[in-house]
Amino acid sequence: MLKCDSEYAQELRAEFESIKPGYHIHKQQWNSVYIYTGELPQKLIFDLIDHSCNMI
């Protein structure tokens, strides 16, 4: 689960199948990121982690 800006979260979900609304948490600002699918580039995963840390 990674926290995300609401608008950016919507963009990511529209672009990537492996990014879904947060499971059992505030769905506008949290994403469930399924990295095991291999769909997401490694750099994007690290950028999303950094973005989440900056939001918190």
Query: For residue 38, what pLDDT is reported?
Result: 87
Quote the CA–CA distance of 23 and 48 in Å, as a whole number: 17
What is the Cα–Cα distance from 15 to 13, expressed in whole angstroms?
5
The whole model's pTM is what? 0.82
List pLDDT tens digits, range 1-56. Answer: 899 988 999 999 999 999 999 877 777 789 999 988 889 999 999 999 999 999 88
- Count the Cβ atoms, other than its own, within 10 Å of residue 23: 10
Residue type, 29: Q
Whether residue 31 contacts residue 20, with contact meaning beta carbons closer than 8 Å, is answered with yes
β-pair partners for 20 = 32
List domains and CATH numbers for the chain.
2-55 (3.90.1150.30)
Task: Give residue 23's pLDDT.
Answer: 79
SS3 34: coil
